[in-house]
Protein backbone atom coordinates (compact mmCIF):
# COMPACT_ATOMS: atom_id res chain seq x y z
CA UNK A 1 0.00 0.00 0.00
CA UNK A 2 2.81 2.43 0.81
CA UNK A 3 4.70 1.71 -2.45
CA UNK A 4 8.23 1.59 -1.11
CA UNK A 5 10.00 2.14 -4.48
CA UNK A 6 8.28 5.51 -4.91
CA UNK A 7 9.67 6.69 -1.56
CA UNK A 8 13.11 7.05 -3.12
CA UNK A 9 11.73 9.92 -5.23
CA UNK A 10 10.97 12.01 -2.13
CA UNK A 11 14.28 13.07 -0.47
CA UNK A 12 15.49 14.76 -3.64
CA UNK A 13 12.69 17.33 -3.39
CA UNK A 14 13.98 18.87 -0.18
CA UNK A 15 17.63 18.57 -1.23
CA UNK A 16 16.94 20.28 -4.56
CA UNK A 17 15.01 22.97 -2.72
CA UNK A 18 17.86 23.63 -0.31
CA UNK A 19 20.35 23.80 -3.18
CA UNK A 20 18.12 26.15 -5.17
CA UNK A 21 17.95 28.44 -2.15
CA UNK A 22 21.75 28.60 -2.16
CA UNK A 23 22.32 26.68 1.07
CA UNK A 24 23.92 23.45 2.19
CA UNK A 25 21.62 20.77 3.54
CA UNK A 26 21.51 20.72 7.33
CA UNK A 27 19.47 19.35 10.24
CA UNK A 28 16.41 21.34 9.20
CA UNK A 29 16.67 19.90 5.71
CA UNK A 30 16.53 16.43 7.26
CA UNK A 31 13.38 17.45 9.12
CA UNK A 32 11.91 18.59 5.81
CA UNK A 33 12.77 15.22 4.26
CA UNK A 34 11.08 13.43 7.16
CA UNK A 35 8.02 15.63 6.77
CA UNK A 36 7.90 14.95 3.03
CA UNK A 37 8.17 11.21 3.52
CA UNK A 38 5.30 11.21 6.03
CA UNK A 39 3.05 13.36 3.84
CA UNK A 40 3.85 11.28 0.77
CA UNK A 41 2.97 8.05 2.54
CA UNK A 42 -0.16 9.67 3.96
CA UNK A 43 -1.19 10.35 0.39
CA UNK A 44 -0.53 6.74 -0.59
CA UNK A 45 -2.67 5.36 2.23
CA UNK A 46 -5.43 7.88 1.63
CA UNK A 47 -5.36 7.15 -2.10
CA UNK A 48 -6.05 3.47 -1.52
CA UNK A 49 -8.80 4.28 0.97
CA UNK A 50 -10.50 6.68 -1.43
CA UNK A 51 -10.18 4.27 -4.39
CA UNK A 52 -11.19 1.10 -2.56
CA UNK A 53 -14.44 0.65 -4.54
CA UNK A 54 -12.81 1.37 -7.90
CA UNK A 55 -9.84 -0.89 -7.09
CA UNK A 56 -12.19 -3.74 -6.16
CA UNK A 57 -13.30 -3.79 -9.81
CA UNK A 58 -10.07 -2.86 -11.61
CA UNK A 59 -7.26 -3.92 -9.25
CA UNK A 60 -8.58 -6.55 -6.84
CA UNK A 61 -5.02 -7.56 -5.91
CA UNK A 62 -4.39 -4.29 -4.05
CA UNK A 63 -4.22 -4.40 -0.24
CA UNK A 64 -7.70 -3.05 0.57
CA UNK A 65 -9.80 -4.96 -2.02
CA UNK A 66 -7.89 -8.17 -1.24
CA UNK A 67 -8.63 -7.82 2.47
CA UNK A 68 -5.00 -7.61 3.60
CA UNK A 69 -5.58 -4.11 5.02
CA UNK A 70 -8.82 -2.84 6.55
CA UNK A 71 -10.17 0.48 5.22
CA UNK A 72 -10.27 1.93 8.74
CA UNK A 73 -6.60 1.09 9.21
CA UNK A 74 -5.66 2.83 5.95
CA UNK A 75 -7.58 5.98 6.90
CA UNK A 76 -6.06 5.99 10.39
CA UNK A 77 -2.58 5.64 8.90
CA UNK A 78 -3.25 8.57 6.55
CA UNK A 79 -4.31 10.77 9.46
CA UNK A 80 -1.39 9.76 11.67
CA UNK A 81 1.18 10.25 8.90
CA UNK A 82 -0.25 13.67 8.05
CA UNK A 83 0.03 14.72 11.68
CA UNK A 84 3.60 13.43 11.88
CA UNK A 85 4.53 15.28 8.68
CA UNK A 86 3.17 18.57 9.97
CA UNK A 87 4.89 18.08 13.34
CA UNK A 88 8.26 17.52 11.66
CA UNK A 89 7.74 20.61 9.51
CA UNK A 90 6.90 22.65 12.62
CA UNK A 91 10.15 21.47 14.19
CA UNK A 92 11.98 22.85 11.16
CA UNK A 93 10.47 26.30 11.70
CA UNK A 94 7.27 28.25 11.19
CA UNK A 95 8.10 29.00 7.56
CA UNK A 96 8.51 25.31 6.83
CA UNK A 97 5.14 24.66 8.48
CA UNK A 98 3.64 27.44 6.35
CA UNK A 99 4.62 25.43 3.26
CA UNK A 100 3.82 21.97 4.67
CA UNK A 101 0.25 22.95 5.59
CA UNK A 102 -0.92 23.74 2.04
CA UNK A 103 1.08 20.71 0.87
CA UNK A 104 -0.90 18.45 3.19
CA UNK A 105 -4.15 20.12 2.15
CA UNK A 106 -3.29 19.57 -1.51
CA UNK A 107 -2.58 15.89 -0.90
CA UNK A 108 -5.92 15.35 0.81
CA UNK A 109 -7.84 17.42 -1.75
CA UNK A 110 -6.28 15.44 -4.60
CA UNK A 111 -7.07 12.02 -3.15
CA UNK A 112 -10.59 12.83 -1.97
CA UNK A 113 -11.88 15.22 -4.63
CA UNK A 114 -9.60 16.38 -7.42
CA UNK A 115 -8.08 13.14 -8.72
CA UNK A 116 -10.85 12.37 -11.19
CA UNK A 117 -11.39 15.98 -12.28
CA UNK A 118 -9.53 18.06 -14.88
CA UNK A 119 -7.71 19.75 -11.98
CA UNK A 120 -6.14 16.47 -10.84
CA UNK A 121 -2.79 16.70 -12.68
CA UNK A 122 -2.36 20.35 -11.68
CA UNK A 123 -3.00 19.48 -8.03
CA UNK A 124 -0.40 16.73 -8.10
CA UNK A 125 2.08 19.08 -9.78
CA UNK A 126 1.42 21.69 -7.10
CA UNK A 127 2.06 19.12 -4.38
CA UNK A 128 5.45 18.14 -5.81
CA UNK A 129 6.43 21.76 -6.30
CA UNK A 130 5.45 22.60 -2.72
CA UNK A 131 7.51 19.66 -1.52
CA UNK A 132 10.60 21.18 -3.12
CA UNK A 133 9.78 24.57 -1.61
CA UNK A 134 9.48 22.87 1.77
CA UNK A 135 13.17 22.00 1.59
CA UNK A 136 14.06 25.61 0.80
CA UNK A 137 11.82 27.01 3.55
CA UNK A 138 13.14 24.60 6.17
CA UNK A 139 16.79 25.19 5.28
CA UNK A 140 16.89 28.97 4.74
CA UNK A 141 13.43 30.31 5.58
CA UNK A 142 13.14 31.62 2.00
CA UNK A 143 11.51 30.09 -1.06
CA UNK A 144 11.76 32.74 -3.79
CA UNK A 145 15.02 31.45 -5.28
CA UNK A 146 13.62 27.91 -5.40
CA UNK A 147 10.50 28.81 -7.40
CA UNK A 148 12.04 28.07 -10.86
CA UNK A 149 13.17 24.60 -9.75
CA UNK A 150 9.76 23.95 -8.22
CA UNK A 151 8.10 24.94 -11.51
CA UNK A 152 10.28 22.55 -13.52
CA UNK A 153 9.67 19.65 -11.14
CA UNK A 154 5.96 20.42 -11.04
CA UNK A 155 5.78 20.42 -14.84
CA UNK A 156 7.32 16.95 -14.95
CA UNK A 157 4.80 15.74 -12.36
CA UNK A 158 1.95 17.26 -14.36
CA UNK A 159 3.00 15.24 -17.42
CA UNK A 160 3.34 11.96 -15.48
CA UNK A 161 -0.02 12.42 -13.78
CA UNK A 162 -1.73 13.14 -17.09
CA UNK A 163 -0.42 9.81 -18.42
CA UNK A 164 -1.43 7.96 -15.25
CA UNK A 165 -5.10 8.84 -15.77
CA UNK A 166 -5.15 6.28 -18.62
CA UNK A 167 -3.10 3.52 -17.01
CA UNK A 168 -6.00 1.15 -16.29
CA UNK A 169 -7.73 1.72 -19.64
CA UNK A 170 -5.08 2.78 -22.15
CA UNK A 171 -6.26 3.88 -25.56
CA UNK A 172 -4.84 7.43 -25.69
CA UNK A 173 -1.57 8.34 -27.39
CA UNK A 174 -1.91 12.08 -26.79
CA UNK A 175 -0.86 12.14 -23.12
CA UNK A 176 2.31 10.03 -23.63
CA UNK A 177 3.29 12.13 -26.65
CA UNK A 178 2.79 15.35 -24.70
CA UNK A 179 4.77 13.91 -21.79
CA UNK A 180 7.60 12.95 -24.13
CA UNK A 181 7.74 16.46 -25.57
CA UNK A 182 7.66 17.91 -22.06
CA UNK A 183 10.54 15.67 -21.05
CA UNK A 184 12.67 16.95 -23.93
CA UNK A 185 11.93 20.56 -23.02
CA UNK A 186 12.70 20.02 -19.34
CA UNK A 187 15.94 18.21 -20.15
CA UNK A 188 16.98 21.29 -22.12
CA UNK A 189 15.94 23.80 -19.49
CA UNK A 190 17.54 21.95 -16.59
CA UNK A 191 21.01 22.42 -18.11
CA UNK A 192 20.74 26.19 -17.75
CA UNK A 193 22.06 27.67 -14.56
CA UNK A 194 19.39 29.66 -12.71
CA UNK A 195 19.76 33.42 -12.50
CA UNK A 196 19.93 34.51 -8.90
CA UNK A 197 18.98 37.94 -7.74
CA UNK A 198 21.43 40.00 -5.68
CA UNK A 199 20.91 39.83 -1.96
CA UNK A 200 18.91 42.74 -0.66
CA UNK A 201 20.05 45.26 1.87
CA UNK A 202 19.75 44.20 5.45
CA UNK A 203 20.57 40.55 4.80
CA UNK A 204 23.80 38.83 3.96
CA UNK A 205 24.27 37.70 0.41
CA UNK A 206 24.44 33.97 -0.18
CA UNK A 207 27.96 32.67 -0.86
CA UNK A 208 28.99 33.51 -4.38
CA UNK A 209 26.13 35.95 -5.01
CA UNK A 210 26.61 39.67 -5.60
CA UNK A 211 25.36 41.99 -2.90
CA UNK A 212 26.49 44.40 -0.23
CA UNK A 213 27.45 41.68 2.23
CA UNK A 214 29.62 39.83 -0.27
CA UNK A 215 31.30 43.01 -1.55
CA UNK A 216 32.04 44.49 1.86
CA UNK A 217 34.91 42.17 2.89
CA UNK A 218 36.50 42.49 -0.55
CA UNK A 219 36.41 46.29 -0.39
CA UNK A 220 37.82 46.28 3.12
CA UNK A 221 40.68 43.99 2.09
CA UNK A 222 41.44 46.15 -0.93
CA UNK A 223 41.62 49.24 1.27
CA UNK A 224 44.29 47.79 3.58
CA UNK A 225 47.83 49.04 3.04
CA UNK A 226 49.88 46.72 0.88
CA UNK A 227 46.87 44.77 -0.27
CA UNK A 228 47.28 43.06 -3.65
CA UNK A 229 44.89 44.06 -6.37
CA UNK A 230 43.16 41.27 -8.25
CA UNK A 231 41.28 41.65 -11.50
CA UNK A 232 37.54 41.62 -11.21
CA UNK A 233 35.66 38.47 -12.17
CA UNK A 234 35.27 34.89 -10.99
CA UNK A 235 38.22 33.00 -9.64
CA UNK A 236 39.68 30.06 -11.51
CA UNK A 237 38.47 27.68 -8.80
CA UNK A 238 34.96 29.13 -8.91
CA UNK A 239 34.87 28.92 -12.68
CA UNK A 240 36.05 25.31 -12.63
CA UNK A 241 33.44 24.42 -10.03
CA UNK A 242 30.72 26.10 -12.08
CA UNK A 243 31.75 24.26 -15.23
CA UNK A 244 31.82 20.96 -13.34
CA UNK A 245 28.32 21.49 -11.98
CA UNK A 246 27.08 22.48 -15.43
CA UNK A 247 28.52 19.33 -16.99
CA UNK A 248 27.02 17.21 -14.22
CA UNK A 249 23.63 18.88 -14.70
CA UNK A 250 23.82 18.14 -18.44
CA UNK A 251 24.67 14.48 -17.80
CA UNK A 252 21.87 14.10 -15.27
CA UNK A 253 19.46 15.88 -17.60
CA UNK A 254 20.32 13.33 -20.29
CA UNK A 255 19.74 10.51 -17.80
CA UNK A 256 16.38 12.02 -16.95
CA UNK A 257 15.37 12.17 -20.61
CA UNK A 258 16.53 8.61 -21.26
CA UNK A 259 14.61 7.27 -18.26
CA UNK A 260 11.31 8.93 -19.14
CA UNK A 261 11.20 9.35 -22.92
CA UNK A 262 11.51 5.72 -24.05
CA UNK A 263 8.51 4.32 -22.10
CA UNK A 264 6.49 7.39 -23.11
CA UNK A 265 7.19 6.66 -26.77
CA UNK A 266 6.28 3.00 -26.35
CA UNK A 267 2.97 3.99 -24.74
CA UNK A 268 2.29 6.47 -27.53
CA UNK A 269 2.88 3.85 -30.21
CA UNK A 270 0.81 1.23 -28.39
CA UNK A 271 -1.37 2.85 -25.70
CA UNK A 272 -2.32 -0.40 -24.00
CA UNK A 273 -2.76 -0.53 -20.22
CA UNK A 274 0.52 -2.47 -19.60
CA UNK A 275 2.64 -0.05 -21.65
CA UNK A 276 0.86 2.96 -20.19
CA UNK A 277 1.60 1.65 -16.69
CA UNK A 278 5.24 1.21 -17.67
CA UNK A 279 5.28 4.79 -18.92
CA UNK A 280 3.94 5.99 -15.58
CA UNK A 281 6.55 3.95 -13.76
CA UNK A 282 9.28 5.37 -15.99
CA UNK A 283 8.06 8.89 -15.34
CA UNK A 284 8.08 8.34 -11.60
CA UNK A 285 11.60 6.86 -11.69
CA UNK A 286 12.77 9.78 -13.84
CA UNK A 287 11.92 12.13 -10.98
CA UNK A 288 15.19 11.20 -9.27
CA UNK A 289 17.60 12.17 -12.09
CA UNK A 290 15.54 15.32 -12.61
CA UNK A 291 15.91 16.25 -8.94
CA UNK A 292 19.64 15.53 -9.18
CA UNK A 293 19.96 17.68 -12.29
CA UNK A 294 18.12 20.56 -10.57
CA UNK A 295 20.46 20.22 -7.61
CA UNK A 296 23.54 20.22 -9.84
CA UNK A 297 22.40 23.30 -11.78
CA UNK A 298 22.23 25.11 -8.44
CA UNK A 299 25.92 24.32 -7.88
CA UNK A 300 25.56 21.50 -5.30
CA UNK A 301 27.39 18.78 -7.22
CA UNK A 302 28.04 16.46 -4.27
CA UNK A 303 24.42 16.62 -3.13
CA UNK A 304 23.32 15.99 -6.71
CA UNK A 305 25.35 12.78 -6.81
CA UNK A 306 23.79 11.67 -3.52
CA UNK A 307 20.32 12.25 -4.96
CA UNK A 308 21.21 10.36 -8.14
CA UNK A 309 22.44 7.44 -6.03
CA UNK A 310 18.85 6.86 -4.87
CA UNK A 311 17.84 5.71 -8.36
CA UNK A 312 19.47 2.24 -8.27
CA UNK A 313 17.86 1.49 -4.90
CA UNK A 314 14.48 2.52 -6.26
CA UNK A 315 14.91 0.26 -9.28
CA UNK A 316 15.90 -2.65 -7.06
CA UNK A 317 12.78 -2.42 -4.91
CA UNK A 318 10.59 -1.81 -7.96
CA UNK A 319 11.37 -5.36 -9.09
CA UNK A 320 9.56 -6.65 -6.00
CA UNK A 321 6.88 -4.03 -5.37
CA UNK A 322 4.94 -2.07 -7.99
CA UNK A 323 5.81 1.61 -8.05
CA UNK A 324 2.28 2.60 -9.17
Residue 323 neighbours by CB under 8 Å, 6+ apart: 3, 5, 6, 281, 284, 285, 314
Separation CA 27–CA 3 (nearest Å) = 26
- Residue 223 has a pLDDT of 38
Phi/psi of residue 203, each to 5°? -140, 150
The pLDDT tens digits of the residues spanning 223-268 come to 334 444 444 444 444 555 667 888 999 999 999 999 999 999 999 9
Q: How confident is the model at residue 192 (pLDDT cuts 50, 70, 90)?
A: confident
Residue 219 neighbours by CB under 8 Å, 6+ apart: none
Mean pLDDT confidence for 183-192: 92
DSSP summary character for residue 173: S
Mean pLDDT confidence for 31-50: 95
Kindly list the distances between the CA atom of residue 11 and the CA atoms of 56, 132, 233, in Å, as whole numbers in the listed order: 32, 9, 35
- Residue 213 has a pLDDT of 35
- Residue 42 has a pLDDT of 96
Q: How confident is the model at residue 62 (pLDDT cuts 50, 70, 90)?
A: confident
Instruction: Find out whether 120 and 84 touch, Cβ atoms under 8 Å.
Output: no
Looking at per-residue pLDDT, the higher value among 43 and 204 belongs to 43
Separation CA 153–CA 173 (nearest Å) = 23
- SS3 state of residue 292: helix
DSSP summary character for residue 269: H
- Residue 324 has a pLDDT of 58
Looking at per-residue pLDDT, the higher value among 218 and 107 belongs to 107
Residue 137 neighbours by CB under 8 Å, 6+ apart: 17, 32, 92, 93, 95, 96, 98, 99, 143
Mean pLDDT confidence for 123-131: 97
pLDDT score of 183 more than 70: yes
- Residue 323 has a pLDDT of 62
Separation CA 310–CA 9 (nearest Å) = 8
Looking at per-residue pLDDT, the higher value among 222 and 138 belongs to 138
Instruction: Find out whether 262 and 282 touch, Cβ atoms under 8 Å.
Output: yes
For residues 289-305, b (16+ Cβ closer than 10 Å) or e, as one string?
A: bbbbbbbbbbbbbebbe
pLDDT score of 95 more than 60: yes
The pLDDT tens digits of the residues spanning 257-306 come to 999 999 999 999 998 989 999 999 999 999 999 999 999 999 999 999 99
Q: How confident is the model at residue 322 (pLDDT cuts 50, 70, 90)?
A: low
Nearest to 193 by CA among 156, 246, 240: 246
Looking at per-residue pLDDT, the higher value among 169 and 251 belongs to 251
Q: Compute the mean pLDDT over every residue in the chain, rounded to the nearest whole number.
A: 85
- Residue 171 has a pLDDT of 72
Amino acid sequence: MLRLPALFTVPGDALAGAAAAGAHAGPRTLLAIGSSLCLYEAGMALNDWADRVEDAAERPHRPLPSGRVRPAAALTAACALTGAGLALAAAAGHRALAVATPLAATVWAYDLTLKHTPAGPAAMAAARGLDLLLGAAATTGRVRAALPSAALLGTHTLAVTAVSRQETRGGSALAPLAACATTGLLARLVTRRPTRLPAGRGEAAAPGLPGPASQGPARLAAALPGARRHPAGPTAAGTATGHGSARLAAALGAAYAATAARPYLHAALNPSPPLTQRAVGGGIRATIPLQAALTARSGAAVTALLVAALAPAGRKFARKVSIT
